[in-house]
Amino acid sequence: MLTHGFARASRIVFDMVTAATRVARFWSTKRQSDITKTRMVIKNDSSMTIHQHWPSGFVKSTNSFAGGVSDGSSIWMIPWNADRVIKLHPSDGSMTAYHDWPLGFTKGNGAFAGGVFDGTSIWMIPMNAYQVIRLDPKNGQMHNYTHWPLGFSKGDSAFMGGVYDGTSVWMIPYDANQIVKINPGDGRMTGYDVWPADFIKRNAAFMGGVYDGTSVWMIPFGADRVIRFNPHDGKMTGYDAWPAGFIKGNGAFMGGVYDGTSVWMIPYDANQIIKINPSDGSMTGYDTWPTGFTKGNNAFSGGVYDGTSVWMIPFGADRVIRLDPHEGRMLGYHTWPMGFTKRPFALRGGVSDGRSIWMIPFSADCVVKIPQVQ
């Protein structure tokens, strides 16, 4: 049985409003430039490797980490049940632990769900934790923030994932009644809850978000639609014109990616991966899964765009799926490394370091790397 907040969704287990248009364009252009410079392909189906040289004093248990984030140099694994943050060095797979939590903070289970790097600090997004935690990647020092917006009550299962828009960090609401903005300069928070007129915000609503250079897209888990949020004026627009043949399921999607042109929603229970045209919210579904693969529930947990392909990270699925965003063609990879057995709830989210994709362990006892070549 999974932990509270994870199990209650049955099934549950997750990239940037600028104050000025110039800033938004700068970050969008930078993102495109970075994508262009890191176009990659997987070496072959049997080249995945495992990394499990855990730091001294750390015991890898089940349901440990919920996503990861790159600071441009290292991979940081965000603790769900784990008692510490783990930094992984991509050059050799070695790891360093940080657990000097701020005064007044008690690390419990289901604490954080995803993280955001703002160019200076890593922000851990609180699921059950009652504080936002900012970590300095240079020394691992942590600071806590609890000045919640007016009208907001921090309960359990609050947020799932966040995005950075070049100016602010946005926390995506799961059970929370607001999408919340953090000013990285001082930790000040502002809440927004003017939902579309015909939309009722319920629990287990969204899991993860995507910033497309202009808008924040909240990815629906239990919600009946995608919500686009304008960070300049707080306006929200809902889109629910689903593609033909689409079956949403109980928990539809878990995270998304932006490929520089389209937003892709990663299917958890949904039967299709969905592409959104950000200009008008129109959607296209893709469900021609690789030969030998059966798409079931609890399938994927987050995705990675590497500059060429969209990678779906397997949670309940038995393999990694790579999608060509131009053609919609999919390939599956399931020759797992020696010593690794792919079980349910194994991996939760992934991170690209520019050369490889690192899949973050939830119940798995190791990190799994997909090495790539330029």
- pLDDT tens, position by position, 325-334: 999 999 999 9
- What is the pLDDT averaged over residues 204-229? 98
- 239-279 pLDDT, tens per residue? 999 999 999 999 999 999 999 999 999 999 999 999 999 99
CB 264 within 8 A of CB 274: yes
User: Which pLDDT value is given to residue 24?
Assistant: 37
Residue 366 has pLDDT above 80, yes or no: yes
Give the pLDDT confidence score for residue 371 in this predicted structure: 87
Are 286 and 239 in contact, with CB atoms under 8 Å apart?
A: no
The Cα 225–Cα 217 span in angstroms is: 11
Percentage of the chain exceeding pLDDT 70: 87
126-179 pLDDT, tens digit each: 999 999 999 999 999 999 999 999 989 899 999 999 999 999 999 999 999 999
Distances (CA, A) of 32 to 35, 260, 363: 5, 6, 34
| Sign of CA pseudo-dihedral 204, 208, 211, 212 | negative
At 207, the pLDDT band (50, 70, 90 cuts) reads: very high
Q: What is the residue-averaged pLDDT of the chain?
A: 89
Q: How confident is the model at residue 33 (pLDDT cuts 50, 70, 90)?
A: very low
Q: Exposure of 202 by Cβ count < 10 A (0-12 exposed, 13-18 middle, 19+ buried)?
A: exposed
Res 295: pLDDT: 97
Reduce the DSSP state of residue 78 to 3 states and report it.
Answer: strand
Q: Minimal CA–CA distance to 127: which of 184, 186, 71, 81?
A: 81
Are 252 and 300 contacting, i.e. CB atoms less than 8 angstroms apart? no
Report pLDDT digits (tens) over 37-83.
344 455 555 589 999 999 999 999 899 999 999 999 999 999 999 99
Q: What is the Cα–Cα distance from 249 to 316, expressed in whole angstroms?
A: 15
Whether residue 113 is predicted with pLDDT greater than 70 in this model: the reply is: yes
Task: Find tokens 């229970």 and name the residue.
Answer: 269
Are 358 and 345 contacting, i.e. CB atoms less than 8 angstroms apart?
A: no
